[in-house]
Amino acid sequence: MNRRLAALANAHGVSTWYEDWRHRRVEVAPETVVGVLGLLGVDATSPTAIADALAAARAVDRGALPETVVLTHGRSRALPGPGVLTLEDGGRRAVDGELPADLPLGWHRLACADREVTVVVVPRRLPVPPRAWGWMLQLYALNSERSWGMGDLGDLAEFTEWAGATGAGLVLLNPLHAVGPAHPVATSPYSPASRRFVNPLYLRVSDTAAYRAADPATRAVVDALRPDRGPLIDYDEVWSAKRHALELLHPYARPVDLTADPALTSFATWCALAERHGNDWRAWPAQLHDPDAPAVAEQRRQLADRVAFHAWLQQLCDEQLDAVTAAARAAGMPVGVVHDLAVGIDPGGADGWQLADVLAQGVRVGAPPDDFNQLGQDWGLAAWRPDRLAATGYAAYRDMLRRALRHAGGLRVDHVAGLWRLWWVPPGGGAAEGTYVRYDAEAMLGILALEAHRAGAVVVGEDLGTVQPAVTRGLRGRNMLGSTVLWFARDDNGDFVPPARWPRNALATISTHDLPTAPGFLTGEHVRVRDELKLLGTDVAVEQARAAADRDRLLTMLRTENLLPEPTPQLPAVTVASGGAEQRTDADPALPDANAAPDDGEVVVAMHAALAASPTRLLGVSLYDVLGEVRQPNMPGTVDEYPNWRLPLPDSVAQIRDDPRVRRIADLLSAARPRPADPPPQERDAVGQVSQSKRAGSPRKSA
């Protein structure tokens, strides 16, 4: 690596080497560094360009104010001179050479040294999360007598009310982010068109005011559109039916004020244009690529009815999510509904169109090669430009978090290490031909803490896999939780670690949506299906042997921890006296065989007992595990070869309520994580002020 190129890369947060999963140093190819610098607007294509860009980087005054100042509450910061601070509430405050430590939390503006910059005051840490357990739910997988071919927000409200009544303190969802309105409908919740708006596929049509206001004939037509439940979820069929039904009901709805929320109006405009031109704005006519272009304004006028329709759908999503929040509050859940924030967006989607000025155009986010993905991973997602975020006061990041937290008692952040650094793949490169780009973690994490604090929400970071120690320390330091998964809780020898040694500040689960379910692991389904799909990197016999060894290791840990009873051995044949003669009797066939494998159902219960025995603050239970589903929701490395994100639960909501397996697990975890009869006493919050601990659905502080 040329020294000047390396220095230029370092100045812009682009890594020229990284440590792989085996802790070996890997040098990044110079052409990759040049390509990623180009995505950041830095020309490094020639020695002269590198010299000029490096000189410009070195000419920056390191003592000058940054474009965004992130200040932790209780700390002060030196300034290059006197200034005037305009507080978020409109008040003004003179500052003389220092930002004082007593500034209120929030978003302020500072005029100082002939510059005006954003000042964000963030909490030191969030309140300590409660100890609770709850259900992990792929919402689309629910089904009921009232849902249309997939789970909906009405199902979620009813499920949440029931779950709270049985002792659950939270419900953790898959991302509900919006997807494009044109066919084919995207199935993956982790490649959304927008992380700021909600997927209207989850609406319950019959729970709308327009449905109630419609005449009987219209309601009858709407009811007849309801698709039947199939063996797999058909998103296109569901969306066709729901869109037609909602279009019939739209005339009965109150009009939406499109001037009240410009971001919503812009999103609804993208939806209307996507219906006409497709879900990828990059393939639209060039004059429509800029949301502020005159041609877009003209299209918005021509498509006014469709814009209003899509804005109304988002209003309905808000109303039905409010009902879910109310259900969590009424059930007394200490956390409530935890929403999932995907790591990125489809670059051709709504956010890619609306937020293009703060995104790196052409980049694809992924991960470097590791033991499981030797070729690296290309998720095809867009990434924030760290320099543009800072230059714009992190407004787009803040607004995304606010919308994600509007109806949330908690937020799970997928691939939370991305707040520190992300693997960027430049155009034309393979997944392994990328490098890491650094973000201002203090800003990214601090702003997340501020918005979560204002929403009264807990934060869970998905920090699985190879992550830097700074990620774990950063989460723990702000009372944010990491993630612990039973499958990965191993020592250096591959043996399962006893649950007593699991970290306290975490959400503990048996599996994830990308891993085998508990029944699938115990039966070897994950080996069988990967062999069928040609995804195994070794001979199937080797993988089967490895899976069998893993199962034995799991059973050993569960038995050692007295979570899975040892089978009572059969009595050996005995000798008795009968009329002076000896005779042998057979062993009692009703007694278990010491060599027999334990019942899988009992092992699944024992695995949940391991969760209960751990010190982790939050416990998550998957319905797939409890209901005996051997198929995992998503199979990494596949697209159409496996029914990713289309597997319904085997039981309906009503059947789940009555299932003795579900009741047994709920009782087990409720005994381990009992809910307090009354709200916890007053305690000091993240900024040292006395406040009542927040409960799910409590009033949110205004943002």
Task: Report the distance separating Cα 240 and Cα 183, nearest Å.
Answer: 9
507-534 pLDDT, tens digit per residue, is: 999 999 999 999 999 999 999 999 999 9
Q: Name the percent of the chain lying above pLDDT 70.
A: 92
Q: What's the rounded Cα separation, in Å, for the pair 29 and 23?
A: 18
Instruction: Specify whether the CB–CB gap between 644 and 634 falls below 8 A.
Output: yes
Contact 695, 332 (CB under 8 A): yes
In tens, the pLDDT along 540-577 reads 999 999 999 999 999 999 999 999 987 666 555 555 55
Convert the pLDDT of each residue in 266-278 to its tens digit. Answer: 999 999 999 999 9
Per residue in 132-154, pLDDT (tens digit) is 999 999 999 999 999 999 999 99
CB 369 within 8 A of CB 20: yes
Measure the CA angle with vertex 126, ends 123 and 130; round to 5°: 170
CB neighbour list of residue 141: distance below 8 Å, 6 or more residues apart: 150, 151, 233, 623, 624, 633, 647, 648, 649
This prediction's pTM = 0.91
pLDDT one-digit tens code per residue, 45-63: 999 999 999 999 999 877 7
- What CA–CA distances, in Å, run from 181 to 194, 307, 312? 12, 12, 14
